[in-house]
A and B are shown apart, each in its own frame.
Chain A
Amino acid sequence: MTRPRALVVVAAAAAVLTAMNLSVWLAGASPARVLALMFAGTLGSSYGFAQSLAKATPLLWTGAAVALALRARLFNIGAEGQCLAGVLAAAVVGAALPASTPALVAVPCCLLAAASGGAALGGLAGWLRGRLGTNEVLSTLMLNGLMAVGVTWLYGGPLRDGAQVHTRDVVAGARLPMAGAALRAFRGSGLNASLLLGLVALAAMGWYLDRTRGGLRIRALGSSSGAAAALGIDPLRTTVRAMALSGALAGLAASHLVLGVKGYAEHGLGAGVGFTGIAVALLGGSKPLGIALAAVLFGLLAQGSLAVNAVVPSDALVVVQAATLIAVAVVGAGRAVAR
């Protein structure tokens, strides 16, 4: 049975808008006023626009992470934990470097650390799946729990910087350039070079999956076991590679969070970014352009919900995010984006 797609998309959009207006109304505010405030806080000013892009940046990374795994038909629910691992690794390595380390050395070191942290966690889930057949949804959920407990302890205890409840600052050379330094209009916003890195990574991911042998193997794993066997693919190695690459992308969200915005790691930094990445990947159809657009949409939503926080609890708008996720899943039903 094929669905009239346009109709379903319209129905999904209507459902999301209804969910939004309903939650705003339930919270006791006027939907029209909330929409006006949201617009003013995002697209209405250059600062709001830059902040929206800043909120979109980590989602670009985790969206790409989930999408890459999905192309191998692996459901990486663990982008959440892999992002936390990247944040931890980038913060530790960035703070351990000598204070005079030039940016040309410090930034690659920290990026490598972030990618490795995420890749280790993702790769472990991939190995468990390929070697023992452990469902990756379950293993990554447990690894998320482990990471959350672990970093909460580390940031409040061993890695705590004196009276501050966060880690030591990374060296100056490890910080990515902020957009506000180049463009006066963006001053004060969290927008930084991680957005450009993320877009490059997204393009590279598209090229890798569609144009290279390694990417072909990953896609073959996702299409059917018959195709994978016909191509002589080692399922264990390919599963580990797909999950490790996916984890590396999720870990690199730390380039925005640690090297861009904060300069250190703290409890709660990166929380929720991985789960939202699932929505971004699905909404974006696991394709680079789609992921970029979906990340910007969720960035606008996140920044917009902060702009209306005084009128409506910003949680009411997470409800909208969840509604979008469900709407996307309903629209995508029947397509093999996910099991």
Chain B
Amino acid sequence: MMALVFLAQVLSAATPLVLASLGGVLSERAGVTMLALEAYLLLGAFAAVTVGLATGSVVASVLAAALAGALAGALFAAFAVWQRASAVVVGVALNLLAVAGTRAALKVLYGSASNSPTLPTSAGLRGSSIAWTALRDALTTPTVWIAPILVGLAALLLSRTVLGLRITACGEHPTAARAQGVPVARVQTAALMLGGAVAALGGAQLGMHQHAFIASMSGGRGFLAVAAVILGRWRPVRAAVWATGIGALSALEATLASSGQVPTVVLQALPFALTLLAVAGRSGKSRAPAALG
């Protein structure tokens, strides 16, 4: 039974990280440093929950999150690609914008700056045991299924399609790509919008899992996802494996915290500490897309 609960928690905890890191891979492969994953997660969660509350439709929630992410990606491209502002600064600014913007919007829409009303849950589905309920909750969230499919599709996109090759060309050698007639800025914009949409789906998972939007609910996951991108050497599948590993750590945190045997602070610090160690340990071996700063 413990194993089932843990499996459910891993699925729920890894999905936002996998989707956010995939969004990061798509953006960075096009040669744009992507630190705004935290913003995408928050915006995706906010869009999914507000639309979910308004329509009651899961499909609409997921689509709203993807749309919000694509728009945020377009905004990122407007500044970082078309105006050639520093992508690091744009990323930091978008994160600030998303934290404050969603909190202000919560206050205006629902009268509370800390959390939204809860999404209705299908009461009839409540199972007999906690373990089955947890597992069913995880498996009936569409983003849990969407994540691995998108990872596979993105891997194919980058390695097998013309657009994928163009994205990689922009990331490796934009000048040569331009000489070959690749519209670099447009390809980068497309990659950023795609990346934003995918990462925001990770936010939808967060919101749907908690059945509400809570201010700053991304809680640093966007930064852990950035680490997964680098640890996965900018490859979709490898980044997803690292993201799942980091997600499993968070799930371990939830499981062990309820058992009370290990201090919570150690468990909360673990993802950051281990990620730092992993990144430091593998620094020499990874090679970033050449056009990244």
Contact = CB atoms under 8 A, between A and B. Distances in A.
Contacts of A157: 265
A298 to B, nearest CB: 12
B269 A313 contact: no
A36 interface: no
Contacts of A142: 223, 227, 272-273, 275-276, 279
B100 A322 contact: yes
B58 to A, nearest CB: 28
A314 to B, nearest CB: 8
A329 B226 contact: no
Interface stretch (A132-140, A159-167, A206-214): A132-140
A133 B223 CA distance: 19
Nearest to A157: B265
B103 interface: yes
Contacts of A135: 230, 279, 283
Interface stretch (A51-59, A99-107, A144-152): A144-152
A70 to B, nearest CB: 11
Contacts of B271: 145
Contacts, number: 142
A322 B89 CA distance: 10
B244 to A, nearest CB: 18
Contacts of A282: 89
The contact size tier of chain A is 35 or more
A323 B88 CA distance: 14
B107 interface: yes
A91 to B, nearest CB: 18
A329 B88 CA distance: 9
A152 B272 CA distance: 15
Q: Interface centre among B79, B83, B264, B293, by most A CB within 10 Å? A: B83
A145 to B, nearest CB: 4
Interface in A200-246: none
A315 B85 contact: no
A145 B223 contact: yes
Interface string B67-101: 00000000000010001111011101111110111
B226 A141 contact: yes
Contacts of A28: 108
Contact of B113 (A133, A315, A338): A315
A62 interface: no
B280 interface: yes
Nearest to B229: A138
B35 interface: yes
Interface in B251-293: 263-265, 268-269, 271-273, 275-276, 279-281, 283-284, 293
A13 interface: no
Measured as residues with beta carbon below 8 angstroms from the partner, the interface class of chain B is 35 or more
Given A132-B283, A315-B107, A316-B100, A329 B89 contact: yes
Q: Which of B83, B93, B263, B265 has the most chain A CB within a 10 Å cutoff?
A: B93
Contacts of A337: 86
B100 A329 contact: no
Contact of B100 (A318, A326, A328): A318
Contacts of B127: none
Given A322-B93, A330-B85, A333-B86, A139 B279 contact: yes
A134 B107 CA distance: 40
Contacts of B117: none
Contacts of B90: 326, 329
Contacts of A148: 220
Given A319-B97, A322-B96, A137 B35 contact: yes
A325 B35 CA distance: 15
| B79, B271, B276 interface centre (most CB from chain A within 10 Å) | B276
Contacts of B107: 27, 313, 315
A139 B108 CA distance: 36
Interface string B155-171: 00000000000000000
A278 B85 contact: no
Contact of B269 (A139, A149, A323, A330): A149
A294 interface: no
Interface in B105-159: 107-108, 113
B108 A325 contact: no
Interface in B219-255: 220, 223-224, 226-227, 230
Given A132-B280, A133-B283, A315-B113, A138 B96 contact: no
Nearest to B101: A319
Contact of A338 (B88, B104, B264, B265): B88
B272 A145 contact: yes
Contact of B85 (A134, A322, A332): A332
B273 A333 contact: no
A4 to B, nearest CB: 14
The listed residue with most A CB atoms (<10 A of its CB), out of B33, B92, B275, B293, is B92
A82 interface: no
Given A141-B226, A145-B220, A321 B96 contact: yes
Given A319-B104, A326-B85, A332-B86, 7 more contacts: A139-B279, A148-B220, A153-B268, A282-B89, A326-B79, A333-B86, A338-B89
Interface of A: 23, 26-28, 75, 77, 128, 132-135, 137-139, 141-146, 148-150, 152-153, 157, 275, 278-279, 282, 313, 315-316, 318-319, 321-323, 325-326, 328-330, 332-334, 337-339
11 contacts: A27-B107, A77-B35, A139-B276, A141-B226, A142-B276, A150-B269, A275-B95, A313-B107, A318-B99, A329-B79, A339-B88
Which 6 A-B residue pairs are closest in the complex by CB-CB distance?
A: A339-B293, A318-B100, A329-B85, A153-B265, A315-B104, A322-B97
